[in-house]
């Protein structure tokens, strides 16, 4: 028993060291961002507007980033670039997590009700992307077709307007542009509506696809910078943007970024039918994907550690016999087991600043959400483990005058933890895989890293397969470690 407890204390000490390192890193980050810094949020999966470069620094670059850097320099600010899914940009602005957002965003009437926008700095047109030889080249050809469009974009509004005229057209909403391209290649949809610049990049890297500008369609509304309602930055940003437009700086940046071929265009070959995989295309990006492993492991370790503590406290509430505590613990467990973790994550991350004024970081929001959720599940697991311990031991300890808390910590809990070890391993595996959810907050973990590589190179399966391999290796390593620990615990009995 002594050896077992020593191992547990060693593990807890390691976790606390990891927590201290994370807290110190967050403190250093917070101290580096002062009032002289503008925070920009974007979705770096939309080349050439914003995406991760292929160099050693792995920073976000693109047309929008250059414009933002120019404005920040003119106004005398430093620029901090944050990332999120496109659907998270507006909530981030409303929660004051960023000063402005740039992601080829259009100032639609619906958005103008909740946000302020700068003047338009880029005007594009919608295009149709469809398989070569499909004869889908104009709006009328979409009748009876399945059409994909990115959720929350002006293209979504355009397609819905087209759908009124073409009621036989089926609309499918998707989160990312690469997802839409893959849906075409999989045959689940017939066409996609995208901006012309992005469409050119996708068709360069996928020769089996072609795009056609919608000449009869109005421009897509133009790209503008988004701000929270009432932001004082709108006027100075407009002044610099107008200077850039009048002085030709925007045209220079267009030439710089829009004349570039897509990252994979030079090596693309006409695709044959079926699934074509070439893992060699992601070899230069493997180090970048591997950088997501520490993030995923950190979330898993911290969430399991704090979840175990919180789950134990909930278990104590359930077995005390005190009715209010029992009702609270059961109600808590019911809520957190009955709602999706993604919903809980969004509420914690976006609602906390508005409700409390505290600017909770993505790391803190992720660990807190995973802890609260994991605690609900572990409380039931721990309760089952405690109830599996022979009641005679409890009665014997109490009859000998052993205090309740000592009995639980020294006699009951060690045996209960042995009983629930397989369940704890399953929970750890689930948390490791669920760590992919924090990518919606802009954390670059394993899956997010793979998606970034896929968006930059206009490929889909290769990065995801490699990410899947990483998850599998980590899960197998965790399972093997747990099996070894379980065997040693059995020998110590």
Choose one of 183, 213, 243: the last residue of a domain.
213
Token output for 245: 């437009």
Residue 181: give its domain's CATH number.
3.40.190.10
Tell me the pLDDT tens digit for each residue of 24-68. Answer: 443 333 333 446 899 999 988 788 888 887 665 678 899 999 999
Q: Is residue 31 part of a domain?
A: no
In a domain, 282, yes or no: no
Write down the residue that tokens 């042995």 correspond to.
Answer: 418
The predicted-structure confidence for 135-193, as pLDDT tens digits, reads as follows: 898 888 888 899 988 876 777 777 888 888 888 898 888 877 778 888 888 888 999 98
Note whether 177 and 51 are same-domain residues.
no
Q: What does the pLDDT read at residue 213? A: 85
Which residue range forms the structural domain that includes residue 434? 2-24+289-492
Same domain, 422 and 469: yes
Which of 213, 238, 258 is the endpoint of a domain? 213
Looking at residue 472, what is its pLDDT?
Answer: 92
Residues 49 and 105 in one domain: yes
Radius of gyration of the chain (CA): 27
Are 100 and 56 in a shared domain?
yes
Q: How many domains does the chain have?
A: 3
Tokens of 193: 């509506």
Clarify whether residues 364 and 240 are in a common domain: no
Q: What is the pLDDT of residue 123?
A: 84
Q: Which of 260-269, 276-285, 359-368 has the lowest mean pLDDT?
A: 260-269
pLDDT digits (tens, 9 = 90+) for 277-299: 666 777 777 888 888 899 889 88
Tens of pLDDT, residues 342-360: 899 988 988 888 788 787 8
Residues 359 and 477 in one domain: yes
- The answer as to whether 446 is a domain residue is yes
Residues 255 and 397 in one domain: no
Do 295 and 318 lie in one domain? The reply is yes
In a domain, 20, yes or no: yes
Say if residue 43 is in the same domain as residue 16: no
Q: Is 117 within a domain?
A: yes
- By residue count, the chain amounts to 493
How many beta carbons lie within 10 A of that of residue 490, not counting itself?
A: 9
Q: Which residues contact 176 (CB under 8 A, 6 or more apart)?
A: 45, 85, 86, 150, 451, 455
Where a domain ends, among 190, 213, 236?
213
> Are 387 and 413 part of one and the same domain?
yes
pTM over 0.75: no
pLDDT at 20 exceeding the cut of 60: no
Q: E strands along 169-248, which residues?
A: 170-174, 191-195, 209-213, 224-228
What are residue 40's DSSP bridge partners? 81, 100
- 117 lies in the same domain as 132: no
Residues 177 and 317 in one domain: no
Beta-ladder partners of 127: 194, 213
């Amino acid at each position: 028993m002594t050896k077992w407890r020593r191992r547990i204390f060693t593990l807890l000490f390691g976790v606390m060291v990891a927590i201290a390192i994370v807290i110190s890193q967050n403190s250093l980050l917070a101290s580096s961002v002062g009032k002289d810094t503008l925070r920009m949020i974007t979705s770096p999966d939309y080349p050439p507007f914003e995406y991760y470069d292929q160099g050693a620094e792995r920073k976000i670059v693109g047309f929008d980033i250059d414009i933002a850097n120019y404005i920040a320099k003119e106004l005398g600010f430093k620029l901090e670039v944050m990332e999120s899914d496109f659907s998270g940009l507006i909530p981030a602005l409303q929660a004051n997590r960023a000063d402005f957002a740039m992601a080829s965003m259009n100032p639609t009437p619906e958005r103008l009700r909740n946000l302020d926008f700068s003047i338009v700095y880029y005007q594009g047109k919608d295009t149709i992307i469809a398989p070569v030889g499909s004869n889908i080249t104009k709006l009328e050809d979409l009748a009876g077709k399945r059409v994909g469009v990115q959720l929350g974009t002006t293209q979504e509004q355009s397609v819905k307007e087209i759908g009124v005229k073409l009621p036989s057209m089926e609309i499918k909403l998707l989160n990312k542009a690469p997802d839409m391209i893959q849906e075409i290649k999989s045959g689940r949809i017939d066409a996609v509506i995208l901006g012309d610049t992005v469409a050119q990049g996708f068709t360069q890297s996928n020769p089996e696809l072609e795009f056609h500008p919608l000449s009869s369609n109005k421009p897509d509304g133009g790209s503008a910078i988004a701000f929270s309602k009432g932001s004082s930055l709108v006027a100075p940003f407009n002044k610099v943007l107008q200077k850039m437009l009048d002085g030709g700086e925007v045209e220079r940046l267009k030439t710089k970024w829009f004349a570039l071929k897509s990252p994979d265009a030079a090596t693309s070959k006409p695709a044959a039918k079926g699934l074509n995989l070439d893992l060699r295309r992601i070899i230069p990006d493997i180090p970048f994907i591997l950088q997501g492993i520490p993030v995923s492991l950190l979330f898993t370790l911290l969430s399991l550690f704090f979840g175990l503590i919180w789950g134990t406290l909930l278990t104590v509430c359930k077995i005390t016999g005190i009715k209010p505590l029992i009702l609270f613990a059961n109600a808590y467990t019911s809520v957190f087991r009955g709602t999706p973790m993604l919903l809980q994550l969004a509420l914690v991350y976006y609602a906390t600043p508005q409700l409390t004024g505290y600017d909770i970081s993505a790391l803190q929001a992720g660990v807190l959400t995973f802890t609260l959720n994991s605690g609900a599940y572990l409380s039931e697991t721990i309760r089952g483990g405690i109830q599996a311990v022979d009641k005679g031991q409890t009665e014997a300890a109490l009859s000998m005058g052993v205090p309740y808390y000592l009995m639980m910590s020294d006699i009951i809990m060690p045996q209960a933890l042995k009983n629930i070890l397989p369940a704890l391993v399953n929970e750890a595996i689930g948390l490791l895989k669920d760590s992919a959810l924090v990518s919606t907050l802009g954390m670059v973990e394993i899956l997010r890293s793979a998606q970034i590589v896929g968006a930059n190179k206009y490929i889909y399966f290769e990065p995801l397969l490699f990410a899947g391999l990483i998850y599998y290796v980590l899960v197998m390593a965790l399972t093997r470690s747990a099996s070894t620990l379980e065997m040693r615990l059995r020998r110590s009995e």
